[in-house]
Amino acid sequence: MAVAGAAAATIFWILTEPSTIAAGILPEHQPDLANGERMFNAAGCASCHIAPGSKDKTRLAGGVALKTPFGTFHVPNISPDPDAGIGGWSDIQFVNAVMRGVSPSGSHYYPAFPYTSYQRMAHGDVLDIKAYIDALPAVKSEVSGHDLPLPFRLRRGLGLWKLLYLDGRRFQADPTATDEINRGTYLVQGPGHCGECHTPRNLIGGPMMDRTLAGGPAPEGDGVIPNITPDPTGIGDWSAKDIAYALESGFTPEFDAFGGAMVSVQDNLAKLPEEDRAAIAAYLKSLPAVKSAPKKPKAD
């Protein structure tokens, strides 16, 4: 009995070993701060990492509480402060955090941090974001740890989750697609991490890829996250121009205004060059149309 237990624990331990990128893989890189800012906006770091209620997207003080079915996460301080934030992290430590969900001390991050999308990014873009963040103000705010019920407090268990959902594959351009579609694919699947909200999740919080970007119930409350595939139940009647304009202005073709979490996202996307929004729009128009799931009747 004891031997079986020890064997199971060993297998668990091996399976959940954090998988990291080796420092030697990173190419020599001259940081490009302009690209860093562009990627910082595409990746939306500020939307989660600034203090609750703050409007200052340069102060990555942390502190927002993200309520999920798995408990409440307290977003960390990622300002370049050496004590309260991530000041002094090496390039490879930052890359492993963002692309593998592994901390410098070797523990797993919770996928509330969207590394399953960021894993698709180019190393150079991630390094440029680091350079950009390193130049932002150091903020000394301390943030408490997460508030999770017992089973989810075991970070090591995330190693199993990652076996299912972290394939470590970076974005590969499709040589048969246009540059614009490739750029849009990269932006949406990588830094934009749109699917983290717009692709519905299963019981263990994994994305349901057969319903990619087809929306679903919001994690909290009784709202919905819209279907952004070209289905009639999604945004099928929006043109690419409508989509690009919506991302620039926050207005749908009916002049309904974006709300909730999308406001912060749209504020960031509005700062991107027009070609990036056009690329996102082109990619969304090229997606398979997925019909919205029927809504469960609720007492309204």
Partner 1 sequence: MLRSLKVAVLTASALALGTAIAMSASDPIAARKAMMKNNGEAMKVVVPMVKGEAEYDAVTAALAMRVVNSTANGYTALFPESSKTGGKTEAAPAIWEKMADFEAAGDKFAADSATAVTAAAGGLDSFKAAFGTMAGNCKACHDEFRVKKN
The correct pick among 168, 223, 236, 288 for binding partner 1 (CB under 8 A) is 223
| Contact flag: residue 28 with partner 1 (CB under 8 A) | no
Residue window 49-88: x/- pattern of binding to partner 1, with contact defined by CB under 8 A:
----------------------------------------
| Contact flag: residue 249 with partner 1 (CB under 8 A) | yes
Part of the chain binding partner 1 (CB under 8 A), chosen from 32-40, 41-49, 56-64, 256-264: 256-264
The correct pick among 2, 24, 296, 300 for binding partner 1 (CB under 8 A) is 300
Exposure letters 256-282 (e unless 16+ CB within 10 A, then b): eebeebbebbbbbbeebeeebbbbbbb
Residue window 169-208: x/- pattern of binding to partner 1, with contact defined by CB under 8 A:
----------------------------------------
Find residue 201's DSSP bridge partners. Answer: 207
Q: DSSP letter string over the chain?
A: -HHHHHHHHHHHHHHTPPP---GGGSPP----HHHHHHHHHHHTHHHHHSPTT---TT------EEEETTEEEEPPP-SS-TTTS-TT--HHHHHHHHHH-B-TTSPBPPTTS-HHHHTTS-HHHHHHHHHHHHTSPP--------B--HHHH-GGGHHHHHHHH---PPP---TTS-HHHHHHHHHHHTTT-THHHHS-B-TTS-B-GGGTT--EE-SSTT-EEPP-SSSTTTTTT--HHHHHHHHHHSB-TT-PBP-THHHHHHHHHTTS-HHHHHHHHHHHHHSPP-PPPPPPP---
Please state the closest distance from residue 83 (CB atom) to partner 1, in A. 32
Comparing CB distances to partner 1, the nearer of 35 and 54 is 54
Please state the closest distance from residue 297 (CB atom) to partner 1, in A. 12
Comparing CB distances to partner 1, the nearer of 158 and 262 is 262
Comparing CB distances to partner 1, the nearer of 111 and 234 is 234
Comparing CB distances to partner 1, the nearer of 47 and 185 is 47
Please state the closest distance from residue 4 (CB atom) to partner 1, in A. 50
The correct pick among 152, 165, 171, 251 for binding partner 1 (CB under 8 A) is 251
Q: Look-up: residue for tokens 């309904």?
A: 256
Comparing CB distances to partner 1, the nearer of 223 and 236 is 223
Comparing CB distances to partner 1, the nearer of 28 and 300 is 300
The correct pick among 192, 258, 283, 290 for binding partner 1 (CB under 8 A) is 258
Q: Look-up: residue for tokens 């970070």?
A: 155
| Contact flag: residue 264 with partner 1 (CB under 8 A) | yes
User: CB neighbours (10 Å) of residue 254?
Assistant: 7
Comparing CB distances to partner 1, the nearer of 236 and 259 is 259
- Which residues sit at the interface with partner 1, rule CB under 8 A? 218, 221-226, 249-251, 254-260, 263-264, 266, 300
